Structure 1
């Protein structure tokens, strides 16, 4: 593994999101002096927090899986996730609602899920689920240490016996076909393949290896931090400060001072310069490239994942059939992905994620009120409507989204809203996200593993990248890993994540310590 040469005593981390805070904690644990510089008024990055009246809103991810990866970062400074955050394991992890009126609770426990599938689709599908679960666990074991929790210096590193094991498992085939070998019911296949959208690729074109995301969602456990997802980066920032990090908020980095091939200081918007021996850059790639003064040349232009419209709604009521996380599937499926990734149309028959965080933490809303987060995937601004069109499109799309929710059983949703905020590709673009998407570069084969933008910067000896645009990719678990991988480039120490801590029934990791509800 290549590492940053020379002195690395003082490291500046640009960005206090999950990747930057993970990098900071791992660096602190290796004895580095760390300064974190964040343009916002508080930590979190994409996992931020805003207020709508008396409602506390998570502005980014709402699903937490693989919490042992966060625990690794805390453990680097002798702390623990369980000491800082109360985790609630969600049962069910999701509730899936289908266009035909059927409903499926997605459990991460094997027996509970097998029984639910037997009720929903019969004994043959329940047996198929058991085989699928075994395959997902094997897929996770084959990938985690070699292809996910790993720094790549060359594509030749793929030539390892683990690649043969992955191929033997069918991981180099197509995701939907491989899942179809276990499950014939098209509704069940959606539950175990929709995760391809996280990777920015339709299930019909995604590598089967990306079913590892389904493993995280449907096997390893889904958690909710009391206080909302923002409680995680807040706790990580507190742990970093207690371990000696200096954190500067409301401090935007506008430039980097260089001496030869090394960065010697970061320049803030107020003109102040902070000297450093190395720097970890976590903003989205366009901002990083602007700071560095150039973008690396690639044979083919980066393709970006679809974007999302999010409606945050504080309401005076809720709907009893909603679980904490809900998947609302339309009738269309293949056409939905075609619209999102090829034709650039808004979904004509949308599939939605509806999250109700007040189901487990009523303190996020005023007494008797409820918070709903509705995510509707949409094309990014390279494929679909450009940013300028969203100014007129946004209110119309909001109204059609509310009408669709009411058609799907959330009667009176629009009238119940007391506070709301609509997030569209306009807002993602304003934050510096390429193609108006918070999901960065899509996980096509040419943008995966050693072919993804590298976390070492060519031509700069002491700059390292972290975040969803670099290795290993998009999602809360992977950005936490990216912070660890960035720190390893500086310290030379990369301790592999223990596989057993993410396997069902294992005693290791925070799931064994956290208080469950």
Structure 2
């Protein structure tokens, strides 16, 4: 094993991806994590006696994980049991409307025709073609590129790519662009929802985010054991290659000597020597000096607009006879509550939405082997978008209760009756997320993707601090399980190419022990 010692701060997906790759290449890797399990936001608490995925629930961009497994000498099929979903998502409106999008594009076209008419089905086909073109244009020069910039992207995509992006009216924003795509406001509402996948408002997010439609059409899978099994898988593979994992080990400070990384100090006073550190926490924690004043210069000094937070419920409950699929989105009727009001409440007023849209993941449904009947309790996870104000006192218990009432009344109008109280329910608010992910206010996606320039304003894997590398959803290429996993690959590659790895280094012992967790540096996906 190499004498070069790497400490990975945070066992979220970016940190796990880095740790696995670096351990596979023979480096000495120690992962320190403030919580008691891997995954970061990809968590799976026990609720009502059963484990419920209570973070990211959608498995997409399979190629990211196929690539990672190939790099470390295995395959996804050899390590995990996954199954493709026939229904990508089921969409509900409280006027009785319901629309499924399917893995089979032809079936989706037929469904849209029945839902909104033949003309809208043709528009849907055109939209899919455009989303595919946007994704193909940006995948290689942006998503797969470790350090993209606007000038290089323009050169890389060429005239054809520029024409594809120009046709969107990218400066208009996603909502306006969708108005040119669809006549039915419900479809505009449905596809505008993709902006929230990056923690953003459809009114401020760039039109290019329609590429998320193609990401889902390329396939959505379920993971046996839940999404948390993916994190456990990467941990297991990294351990098998020599990585050491320390849970309940809270990083208090990253030490610099003569301007470069020299070690990591834990909250209990223990020091871990380090030639390099991969920080898989939110970049806001560095900006605010929570890891030490000298680390502020590792990221841009100007704080970007925070992304969405969330108000969530993990429930072990019976959905009755409501025909849920695995992934469900419940919309308010437009004449009952203008869709724009949800995002005005959150981003302009900093308050919980008065008329929220609700996402529900029914984790025991959607696959061929599903046995959910509607009479027995099932694992359910519900989410409402919220402002990232968890570091203030702007959201009261009364505000949370009021939003909860509105959300569950919407579900009831759509046919899903649940009681969000009792020992079989766990509610999590922005303040809870802020305590887990300090300096964020509970923002779950790093910075909001507002405006075309936001694509190039996230920190990248390399930093101005020698020996410090960044991974996670707050850095390029952005939030989400596959994107965070990619960021870990970028951090590992940057570390392997760094001058420090070519200089002579000597082994140093790492002492044992654990620490008392605190809220200083909990970690991101």
* TM-score category (smaller protein): 0.7 to 0.9
Q: Which residue number in structure 2 is paired with residue 226 of structure 1? A: 224
- 1:92-127 CA distances to partner (integer Å, 9 max, x unpaired)? 111000132110011132111111112212222222
**Is residue 28 of structure 2 the alignment partner of residue 33 of structure 1?**
yes
Residue 324 of structure 1 corresponds to which residue in structure 2? 326
The separation in 1 between residues aligned to 2:157 and 2:388, in whole angstroms, is 34
Q: How does 1:59-74 map to 2 (within 5 A)?
A: 59-74=54-69
Cα distance in 1, alignment partners of residues 346 and 394 from structure 2: 18
Whether the 8 Å CA contact 1:56–1:364 is kept in 2: the answer is no
SS at match of 2:52: strand
2:342 aligned partner: 336
Question: 1:106, 1:153 → 2: CA distance?
Answer: 32
Partner of 2:291: 291
Further displaced range: 11-20 or 262-271: 262-271
Equivalences for 1:192-207 in 2 at 5 Å? 192-207=191-206
- Residue matched to 2:445: 439
Q: Does residue 462 of structure 1 match 2:479?
A: no
Q: Which residue of 1 aligns with 2:517?
A: none
Contact 2:319 2:378 in 1 (8 A): yes
Residue 425 of structure 2 aligns to a residue whose secondary structure is: strand
1:143 and 1:103 mapped to 2: Cα distance? 32
Who is 1:486 aligned against? 491
1:84 aligned onto 2:86: no
- The structural deviation recorded for 1:179 is 3.1
Between 1:69-78 and 1:198-207, the stretch displaced more is 198-207
Cα distance per residue 1:276-333 (max 9 Å; x no partner) = 2211000122333421424347575310012110011111454332111111011221
3-state secondary structure, aligned to 1:36: strand
- In structure 1, the residue matched to 2:313 is 311
Contact 2:90/2:325 (CA < 8 Å) preserved in 1?
Answer: yes
Question: SS of the residue aligned with 2:208?
Answer: helix
Tell me the equivalent position of 2:17. 22
Corresponding residue for residue 46 of structure 1: 41
Runs (5+) with no aligned partner, structure 2: 499-525
Quote the residue 2:380 is aligned against: 372
Cα distance in 1 for residues equivalent to 2:423 and 2:372: 14
* 1:129-156 superposed Cα distances (whole Å, 9 cap, x missing partner): 2222221111111101111221227654
Residues 70 and 102 (structure 1), Cα distance of their counterparts in 2 relative to 1, 3 Å cut: same
Distance 1:220-1:8 versus aligned 2 partners, 3 A rule: farther
Aligned-partner SS, 1:442:
coil
Does structure 1 residue 474 correspond to structure 2 residue 482? Answer: no
Match of 1:145 among 140, 143, 146: 140
Q: How does 1:76-155 map to 2 (within 5 A)?
A: 76-152=71-147
CA RMSD in angstroms comes to 2.7
- What SS does the aligned partner of 2:296 have? coil
Give the secondary-structure state (helix, strand or coil) at the position aligned to 2:441.
Answer: helix
- How far off its partner does 1:334 sit? 1.8
Write the distance in 1 (CA, Å) between the matches of 2:494 and 2:282.
19
Q: Which residue of structure 1 lines up, in the alignment, with residue 245 of structure 2?
A: 247
Equivalences, count = 482
Indicate yes or no: 2:359 matched with 1:348: no
In 2 relative to 1, CA 492–131 (structure 1 residues): closer, same or farther, beyond 3 Å? farther
CA drift of 1:448 comes to 2.8
Unaligned stretches of 5+ in structure 1? 1-6, 494-517
- Contact 2:12 2:39 (C-alpha < 8 Å) held by counterparts: yes
CA distance in 1, matches of 2:408, 2:252: 40
Give the structure 2 partner of residue 181 of structure 1: 180
The 1-side partners of 2:409 and 2:455 are apart by 41
Q: Distance in 2 between matches of 1:402 and 1:46?
A: 24
Deviation of the 1:465 alpha carbon: 0.6
Higher deviation after alignment, 440-449 or 265-274:
440-449
Which of 252, 257, 260 is matched with 2:258 structurally? 260
